[in-house]
Each structure stands twice: as C-alpha cells, then as structure tokens.
Chains A and B, each alone.
Chain A
Amino acid sequence: MQEIIIGIGVTALAGALAAVAGAAEDTESNIGSQGDPNSQVQLAPQMGYTHRIYNKAVSGEPPAYTLWVTLACGVAWAFLMLGVNAILAIIFGTVLATFVQGVYATTAYLGRTASLSKFGQPVFIDVVKSVTTVTMAHAFVAIFATVTVCYLMMTVIGHPFALPLLGIVWGLALGAAGSATGNPYYGKERQYQNQKFGAGVPISASGNIVRYAEAGQRSSIDNGFFTAKFGGPASGICFGLIVFFELWRTIIFEDFLAGWGAVIVGALIIVVFMIIDRYVEVWARKNYGPYTVEA
C-alpha cells in the first residue's frame, strides 16, 4: 500500500514537472523560431523581407530535444557514478546540455543568415546576444525538469531502462509534444499576423512575416510573450498528461493480469482521448469553420 502511495505521489510530481518542461520547451523553440514557421523565416529575405527574427534550425524539435535531454541524462549518470549528489548531478548535466544547445543555436543562426547574404539579410549580433540567452534559459528549465522526471522514474519507481535511455524516450516525447501541440497555437498566428485569420499561407504571401512592432523593430524575443500565454501552456498540459497517464496506469494496474492490466488501461486511455478529440474537432468546426465565403 505504501508503495502505491509513494508511486502516486511521484506520478503527480512527475506530471507537474513535465507540465513545466512542456511550457518551457515550446517557449524556447518559438523564441528561436525552431518550429514549423522556420521555413518562412528562412524564405523571407529571398522575397525581399529582411527581418530580425532568430533563424534557429538545429533540426526538428523532437531530435533536438532528444539530444539535449539524452546528453543531460548521460552526464548526470556519470556524475552519479562519481558519487556526486543527485540534484547537483542533474544540474551539471543540464548546464552542459544548455551550453551545447546555445552553441548549436548560435551556429545555426550565423550559418543560415550568412548564407543569405545574396539577399541583403544582415547578421544582427544584438539579436544573437539577447535571444540566445533567453532560449538557453528556457531550455535549461525544460531539460532540468525532464531529466528530473527520468531520474524519479529510474530511482523511485524502478524503471528498468538506464538513465540515458529514459532520456532518449522522454526527450523525444517532449520535443514531439511541443512541436505538435505548441506550434499550432502560436507560429502561424503570431508570425503571420499580416494574413487574414485562417487564410493559411498563400504562395503570394510567402515570407511575408511580421517584422515590425510597437517597440521598434521586432526580434523574435517578443514571441515568448505570446507563446507563454497560449502555446506554452498547451504543450505543458500535453506533455504533463502524457507523463502522468503513462506512470499512473503502470503503477496502479501493473499487478493485474500479469502486466496486461497496464496495457489494457493504456489502450482505454487512448480510446477516451480519441473520443474527446473528435468531439472538440467537431465543436471547433461548427463554431469557427469551414472558411466559407462571407455572406
């Protein structure tokens, strides 16, 4: 009984940490324009729209976050093996991962922008200085929270995977949650405010991204303000629920039917979410779409 209570407590804590991680991850990638609007950021100077938006193309978010979280887990594991206190070990791992993230971010910005010299797009060093540090801070929060979730799974719940392998699984899940959930709430709506809502990006408007703002010329640091309200919390809820349900079903139902209980409950959770998703989709279509001709 006590084991189950501790398990549930850890499940709740891990879910909360994951929610923080998801929110920070999405804010990080949106400030750095790493998500899907990045192709438009890359395209804009070629269409004659020079801009001050950070062009951070390390890779898609899932592989990038797999790297940061896995290497933080690996370094944390190494420090644990060397007898360092767990919290310090996780912090050392996260600091190194954040350092690597910052280096990759700056090289991606400098490389891509320099390759656009033909179109007169300058490299803005003040953008590099201000935006990189802000994305690194958000990456630190996201990585630290996720590595802590992995550590809790390994030690308290006794997950059979080694720490770096848990890092690969949950880093990938974190990046996927931020990319799939966060971006639809942000990118196109913030970056394409020049376009009519719901218009998508017609070819004639390619590269016509938002470049001016109320306080001088915009750098994408302001996207954090927008994302923190919508995309971040959505990603946080998504990743938090993934971690919470994953642990909850395992801890409560693993003893039933020789382990199959947890599998069946997992399948049931998926079915319930499919029904909810379908309901939300139909509701949204009825209220907001389809995009018919105005009467």
Chain B
Amino acid sequence: MSVKVEASHDGIPHNKVMAIGAVISLVSLYIAIIGTVIGVDYLAFFGGIAAVGALIWGNSTIKKLCSYGIGTGVPSAGMLAFGSGLIALLFASALAGFSIWIVPVAALVIALIVGLFLGWISNSVLNMKIPVMTRSIAELAAVGALALMGLGVVATGTVSFTGIATIEILGVSVYNASYLGAGVIAVSFMLGAIALQHPFNACLGPGEKQDRTNMLAIECGFLSMIIMAVISFVFVSLAAAWISFVVAIIGWAVSYVKYVALSKRDAAAWLDAKPFSDKEE
C-alpha cells in the first residue's frame, strides 16, 4: 500500500485540467478532419494543437499518479501510455473505412478500455495497490492515443489507416515509404512519450508549480510538432507543411520564453557567474 504525498497544491483541479485537455484535443482533431473531408491539408497543423491538449491532460495525470511515490516510474509512464495508445490508434484508424468522423472518439474509447484493463492488471494482479492506478493508466492510454493521432495528423494530414499506411509515388500506392511503413510512427512515439513524462519529471520537487509545469507541457508539445512538421514535407503539400512548421516554431518560442520567465519567478536566485555560499557556513 503506497502513501500519498502531495507534490503541490494546484490552482486548477485535475478533473478540470482533464476536461480542458480532452476538449482541446478532440476539437482540434475534428477541425483537422474537416480539412481532410473537404480535401485541403493545410489544417494539418491542428494535429499539433491536439497533441498539446492531450499532453496538458496527461501531465496532470502523471502528477496525480506519481504523488504516490513512484519517482523512477515517471519516464516509464510515458512509454506505457504511448504503447497502449498505439494499439487504440491503429484499431481506430482502421475504422476510417466505415466513417472518418468516428476515428478520434473511437481511439479515445478503445484506449480507455485498453488502459482500464492494463490498470486493473497492475493494480490487482501485480498487486501495486495504488488507489488512482486503474483510472490513471486508462487516462494515460487515452492521452497516448490522442497525442499520437495528433502528431500523425501533422505529418500526414489524415487519420485514416489508408492515409498513414500508403503513399502515392508516381501514381502507385506504396507501403514502404508511408508513415507506418517507413517507421515514421516510431518518431511520433518517442517524441510523444518523452514529451508526456518530461514536464512533471523536470519540475518535480517541493517548489513545483502547476502553471510552470503546464507551460512546459505546452513547450514540449510544440517542440515535438516542429519535428513532425519537418517530416511532413514528404507527405503533405508544401503550403501545409510550411504552415505547420511556422505555427510550431511560434508556439514553441512563445511557450519557451514564458517557461523561462516562470522559472525565474520561482527560483531562489537567478545568478550569472556569481559564486554561491553555503547555508551552513
């Protein structure tokens, strides 16, 4: 049985952060899908916004889960989230053959089911007995699926399985050079998994503040989006790739500057090449 240790008092309760993150993520994915349906791909950058929304939610979940003292488990939580989210993503994207509109919601639901199952195994079968474990792992799986889908949309402009598993080269459908076939999804996986665990891992300590950690989550999301935007030059039109790239750069730069300012606000002192003195001396 683990004992709960409060990391910091939050201004915004977890459920509210979760709702905000989920809404940002789903709405952005649907805006991107509208683009696919009307046949333009320059709305692909909304995938990056979806990933940012999912990361804000996931970061709050990790903070809640890790208040039960699983310090070294923070990076593992990111990997677990994206591993289980990947199953949901592939399953849901295959449903696009039925209707593209159900893909984001289907990914969310399937991920929650996969996560609940994994959470139940870790809590009851492996006997970890952390009260929020089952719910947190279900949430993390959903976050993983949404963030992975968002980064995939930035790269390919679509959420359908045919869109991510094939690419048209000289009029021929090729699997080997597609988002899945060339393993680009591995890049999304790693970018997302590290971005998910980094904000809380980097800000942990008695002086952790919710707004600073959230700002870092936003920064990590846009940083991941920069890379996907560069890769997207292969898959989407030149205009769409440039829009994603510029949006990502601006989003990253603004959030990075704000994060540095918040760190300066919270730091004990901000010294440039000055010697330190010991407290006890």
Q: Residues on A close to B: CB < 8 A?
A: 42, 48-52, 57-60, 63-64, 66-67, 70-71, 73-75, 77-78, 81-82, 96, 100, 103-104, 107-108, 110-126, 161-165, 167-168, 216-217
What are 15 inter-chain pairs, A to B, with CB distance below 8 A? A63-B75, A74-B231, A75-B187, A75-B231, A77-B184, A107-B259, A113-B263, A115-B207, A118-B207, A122-B269, A125-B271, A163-B183, A167-B187, A168-B186, A216-B275
**Chain B contacts with A in 206-220, Cβ cutoff 8 A:** 206-208, 212-213, 216, 219-220
Give the distance to chain B from A94, nearest Cβ to Cβ, in Å: 13
Which one of B208, B231, B263, B271 contacts A78 once the chains associate, using CB atoms below 8 Å? Answer: B231
**Contact size range, B:** 35 or more
Give the distance to chain A from B148, nearest Cβ to Cβ, in Å: 14
A74-B227 contact given A103-B256, A164-B182, CB 8 Å threshold? yes
Kindly list chain A residues whose C-beta atoms are within 8 Å of the C-beta of B208: 115
Chain B window 213-233, contacts with chain A (Cβ cutoff 8 Å), 1 for yes, 0 for no: 100100110010011001101
Q: Report how far A116 CA is from B276 CA in the complex, Å.
A: 15
Cβ-based interface call for B205 (8 A): yes
Chain B window 159-191, contacts with chain A (Cβ cutoff 8 Å), 1 for yes, 0 for no: 000000000000000001100011110110011
Which one of B186, B270, B276 contacts A217 once the chains associate, using CB atoms below 8 Å? Answer: B276
Tell whether, in the assembled complex, residue A126 and residue B194 are in contact, meaning their CB atoms are under 8 Å apart.
no
Tell whether, in the assembled complex, residue A112 and residue B205 are in contact, meaning their CB atoms are under 8 Å apart.
yes
Tell whether, in the assembled complex, residue A112 and residue B183 are in contact, meaning their CB atoms are under 8 Å apart.
no
Kindly list chain A residues whose C-beta atoms are within 8 Å of the C-beta of B233: 78, 82
Q: Report how far A71 CA is from B189 CA in the complex, Å.
A: 10
Kindly list chain B residues whose C-beta atoms are within 8 Å of the C-beta of A70: 186-187, 190
Tell whether, in the assembled complex, residue B268 and residue A111 are in contact, meaning their CB atoms are under 8 Å apart.
no
Kindly list chain B residues whose C-beta atoms are within 8 Å of the C-beta of A110: 259-260, 263, 267
Chain B: CB-nearest residue to A124 = B271
Tell whether, in the assembled complex, residue A107 and residue B219 are in contact, meaning their CB atoms are under 8 Å apart.
yes
Cβ-based interface call for B130 (8 A): no
Chain B: CB-nearest residue to A168 = B186
Kindly list chain A residues whose C-beta atoms are within 8 Å of the C-beta of B262: 114
Kindly list chain A residues whose C-beta atoms are within 8 Å of the C-beta of B275: 216-217
Give the distance to chain A from B130, nearest Cβ to Cβ, in Å: 21
Chain A: CB-nearest residue to B252 = A103
Q: Which of B60-68, B133-141, B195-203 contacts A (4 or more CB under 8 A)?
A: B195-203
Give the distance to chain A from B57, nearest Cβ to Cβ, in Å: 19
**Chain B contacts with A in 16-65, Cβ cutoff 8 A:** none
Q: A123-B270, A162-B183 are in contact. List 5 more A-B contacts (CB 8 A).
A: A107-B198, A110-B260, A117-B207, A117-B267, A118-B268
Cβ-based interface call for B9 (8 A): no
Q: Report how far A215 CA is from B187 CA in the complex, Å.
A: 42
Most buried by A among B78, B187, B259, B280: B187
Chain A: CB-nearest residue to B260 = A110
Q: Report how far A59 CA is from B78 CA in the complex, Å.
A: 10
Tell whether, in the assembled complex, residue B194 and residue A58 are in contact, meaning their CB atoms are under 8 Å apart.
yes
Which one of A77, A114, A119, A165 contacts B263 once the chains associate, using CB atoms below 8 Å? Answer: A114
